[in-house]
Amino acid sequence: MDKRIGFIGAGNMAQTIINGLIRNYTGINEKIYISNRTRAKGESLRNKFNVNLCESNIELVKNCDIIFLCVKPDIYSFVLDEIKEYVNEHQLLISVIVGITLEDMGSHFLQPKKIIRTMPNVAVTVGEGMTAVTPNDRVEEEELNLAITLLSSIGKVDVIKESLMDVATSISGCSPAFVAMFVEALADGGVLQGMPRDKAYQYAAQTLIGTAKMILENEIHPGKLKDTVTSPGGVTIEGVSVLEKRGFRGIVIEAMEACGRKIKLLKK
Ligand SMILES: NC(=O)c1ccc[n+]([C@@H]2O[C@H](COP(=O)([O-])OP(=O)(O)OC[C@H]3O[C@@H](n4cnc5c(N)ncnc54)[C@H](OP(=O)(O)O)[C@@H]3O)[C@@H](O)[C@H]2O)c1
């Protein structure tokens, strides 16, 4: 890795990505630069990861080839206005900021810049994230591949059209909350039938991991997996029948639609 990688905003997301990079690439810490609003937080991150701390966002831009924008959506505008004169046409900007489009970001610059918009989910913190990425037309294939390589250190990465970014936000950004509710409900069901709570969470969560791996790694269709587990007149089909009667799948789809509606509303 000969590129210098900067992070503007040294919060949770920046720390997660830096952690993933350091775990995967020995010596990459020397190539990492950070800048943050409060110095104390920046210093703490510098000490934790042994990375370079810049005095300002401008100093960071002057030093880096790739710049991750890791600030909150309400201040991204201020940050882009601050750095816009210093970003050149060779540098790659990678935004993790939810809801801010390539056009929004591009509009801050007088000349077109290379920008990649990403949407990581919370599971990046354990290296099992799902990150959607979409580049603007200035980004070369090699640069996109480099961004994918970097982001792969925190989970799976997929390139999608920007028009699908909001759907990606619902299906991977919001759904960890639904999945956690499902795990909690499974565990409650176990507790109801006498299993200690900590064991019930372990059984429910591990079952989720196993099921997901069967779908992703063995490429088993979810419907087929369900058919495999439900033997005729057996136990599991009793549970499936209750879930279907109560509209389990329909409710999940409706929840996704509700997230989609809210995302559109927030954009307006
Ligand atoms: N967390 C997630 O699961 C997640 C998932 C997907 C996308 N995202 C996106 O990731 C971005 C960052 O989220 P986060 O959870 O990492 O937030 P965060 O922990 O609050 O981090 C934001 C950082 O930006 C710093 N900052 C504020 N103003 C700044 C400025 N003018 N210049 C430089 N740094 C500045 C803050 O510093 P101080 O604390 O010192 O003010 C803070 O360290 C957001 O846009 C969010 O939409 C987050």
Distances (CA, A) of 81 to 28, 57, 62: 29, 11, 15
142: domain range? 5-160
Q: Are residues 29 and 125 in the same domain?
A: yes
Extract the tokens encoding 28. Answer: 């990459």
The C-alpha atoms of residue 101 and residue 87 are separated, in whole angstroms, by 18
Compute the distance from residue 9 Cα to the ligand 1 centre, in Å.
Answer: 5
* pLDDT above 90 (res 117): yes
* pLDDT above 80 (res 211): yes
Beta-ladder partners of 114: 92
Q: Are residues 156 and 189 in the same domain?
A: no
Q: Are residues 16 and 71 in the same domain?
A: yes
pLDDT digits (tens, 9 = 90+) for 173-204: 999 999 999 999 999 999 999 999 999 999 99
pLDDT digits (tens, 9 = 90+) for 58-67: 999 999 999 9
Q: Are residues 155 and 26 in the same domain?
A: yes
Q: Are residues 178 and 244 in the same domain?
A: yes
Compute the distance from residue 75 Cα to the ligand 1 centre, in Å.
Answer: 9
Which CATH number covers residue 185? 1.10.3730.10
Q: Which atom of ligand 1 is nearest to the CA of 98?
A: 47
Cα of first residue to Cα of last residue in the chain, in angstroms, is 40
Mean pLDDT score across all residues of the chain: 96
Q: What is the pLDDT of residue 263?
A: 87
Q: Which of 160, 179, 206 represents a domain boundary (last residue)?
A: 160
- Minimum CA distance residue for ligand 1 atom 9: 97
* pLDDT above 80 (res 156): yes
Helices in the chain by DSSP H: which ranges?
12-24, 39-49, 57-63, 76-83, 102-106, 141-151, 165-168, 175-192, 197-216, 222-229, 236-245, 248-267
Residue 185 CA to its chain's centroid (Å): 25
pLDDT digits (tens, 9 = 90+) for 222-262: 999 999 999 999 999 999 999 999 999 999 999 999 999 99
Compute the distance from residue 69 Cα to the ligand 1 centre, in Å.
Answer: 9
- Minimum CA distance residue for ligand 1 atom 28: 37
Task: Please tell me the number of Cα atoms within 13 Å of 126 on its side-chain side.
Answer: 4
Extract the tokens encoding 232. Answer: 């005729």
Q: Mean pLDDT, to the nearest integer, of 1-9?
A: 94
Q: What is the pLDDT of residue 173?
A: 92
Helical axes 12-24 vs 39-49, angle rounded to 10°: 20
Q: Which atom of ligand 1 is nearest to the CA of 13?
A: 16
Q: What is the pLDDT of residue 183?
A: 98
Q: What is the pLDDT of residue 95?
A: 97
Which CATH number covers residue 148? 3.40.50.720
Q: What is the pLDDT of residue 261?
A: 93
Q: Which of 160, 193, 217 represents a domain boundary (last residue)?
A: 160
Q: Which amino acid belongs to residue 75? A: I
Q: Are residues 138 and 188 in the same domain?
A: no
- Minimum CA distance residue for ligand 1 atom 44: 72
Strands 32-35 and 5-8: parallel
Q: What is the pLDDT of residue 258?
A: 96
- Which residues make Cβ contacts (< 8 Å) with residue 239, sequence separation at least 6? none
Q: Are residues 199 and 256 in the same domain?
A: yes
Q: What residues flank ligand 1, with Cβ below 6 Å?
A: 8-14, 35-38, 41, 57, 70-73, 75, 79, 96-98, 120, 122
Q: Which of 160, 184, 211 represents a domain boundary (last residue)?
A: 160
Q: What is the pLDDT of residue 202?
A: 98
Enumerate long-range contacts of 119-123, CB under 8 Å, 24 or more apart: 119/165, 119/168, 119/169, 119/172, 119/173, 120/13, 120/16, 120/17, 120/96, 120/151, 120/154, 120/155, 121/172, 121/173, 121/176, 122/173, 122/176, 123/155, 123/176
Q: What is the pLDDT of residue 197?
A: 98
Residue 91 CA to its chain's centroid (Å): 22
* pLDDT above 80 (res 267): no
pLDDT digits (tens, 9 = 90+) for 39-91: 999 999 999 999 999 999 999 999 999 999 999 999 999 999 999 999 999 99
* pLDDT above 80 (res 268): no
Q: Mean pLDDT, to the nearest integer, of 114-120?
A: 97
Q: Are residues 180 and 211 in the same domain?
A: yes
Q: Are residues 155 and 210 in the same domain?
A: no
Q: Are residues 228 and 99 in the same domain?
A: no
Tell me how many domains the chain contains: 2
Cα-flanking dihedrals φ and ψ of residue 43, to 5°? -65, -40
Q: Are residues 149 and 175 in the same domain?
A: no
* pLDDT above 90 (res 264): no
Burial of 125 (0-12, 13-18, 19+ CB in 10 A): middle
Q: Are residues 216 and 93 in the same domain?
A: no
Q: What is the pLDDT of residue 20?
A: 94
The C-alpha atoms of residue 199 and residue 188 are separated, in whole angstroms, by 11
Nearest to 67 by CA among 38, 34, 20: 34
